[in-house]
Copies of this chain bind each other. A is one copy, B any other.
Amino acid sequence: MMDQLIEKIKQTQNPTVVGLDPRLSFIPTFLKEECYAQLGKTPQAAAEAFYRFNCAIIDAVYDLVPAVKPQVAMYEMLGSAGIESYIRTIQYAKQKGLIVIGDVKRGDIASTAENYSDGHIGRVAVEEERFEIYKEDFITVNPYLGYDSIEPYFANVSTYNKGLFVLVKTSNPHSGQLQNLDVGGHTLYEHVGQLVETWGEPYRGKYGYSDIGAVVGATHPQEAKKLRQEMPHTFFLVPGYGAQGGTAEDLAVCFDKDGLGAIVNSSRGIIAAHQKEPYRSAFPEKEFALAAREAVLAMKTDLRRCI
């Protein structure tokens, strides 16, 4: 699946992934009111509002970006209606030709990881029937439990042409508390990076990158630069651009000499663009998704200036 992601990036000339992390505070009042009128002020209404909001964003950006990345927490928070909204969002994005990265950050012992793997990127067996449940193309996973917590995803990666992004160096302020500890001449995140590079070896595609990628935050440019050198076959999913403080200059180091090797996430910078200038003045509330489109174009220009 990494080959397909790279081809979509080449085709759109835009290494941007739109983070579909909806919050009620991002959603225009008219859209929320429609859902409340139908379903009351309930989690079900919030989940429906998330879905409609996402569809409008997807409609406005699907020709400009290769991928979207829904963050499951926002949906999971709403219970089963939220999970339904997450699944419908994935389905809609895929219908529009987008690659979907499910930001689930799961990590558990092998027998449990198999369940996450089958549910998200594989098939779930109910007797002789097989069901595709979530249908993400990629998911993010957490490495704290070690190899046997990651290995259960590999069979589905191969069988169903899927991919992973393993957390290596995250974008949050305290990411260094464990990840930057010295584990014998290098940091824990470099150690994890080396493991991911090795784990990914059997899954390399025609561009030299493995289906097993890594999450490397844009907020740590020196660290990302070193990781880019140490992990030449590992594609990076780069969070932290924009609202979290990472700039295009910061994350340029995540790319290889061909301008490949990374995809940069922006969530609220795009999906909540209509709430901020210059977009707020330029677009009436009903056209919030056009603000997202403009924000994607601005991000594309900003990224291409630096890579």
Contacts and interface: CB of A to CB of B under 8 A. Distances in A.
A298 interface: no
A105 interface: yes
A72 to B, nearest CB: 9
A127 interface: yes
Given A73-B108, A83-B83, A172 B148 contact: yes
A195 interface: yes
Contacts of A77: 115-116, 118-119, 124, 133
A242 interface: no
Contact of A181 (B46, B125, B145, B188): B188
Interface string A174-197: 111111011110001001100100
Interface in A98-126: 105-110, 112-113, 115-116, 118-119, 124-126
A171 B126 CA distance: 29
Nearest to A171: B109
Nearest to A176: B146
A163 B28 CA distance: 35
A66 interface: no
Nearest to A184: B182
Given A131-B43, A183-B182, A106 B175 contact: no
A160 interface: no
Nearest to A25: B125
Interface of A: 21, 24, 36, 41-43, 45-46, 71, 73-74, 76-81, 83-84, 87, 105-110, 112-113, 115-116, 118-119, 124-129, 131, 133-134, 142-149, 167, 170-179, 181-184, 188, 191-192, 195, 239, 244
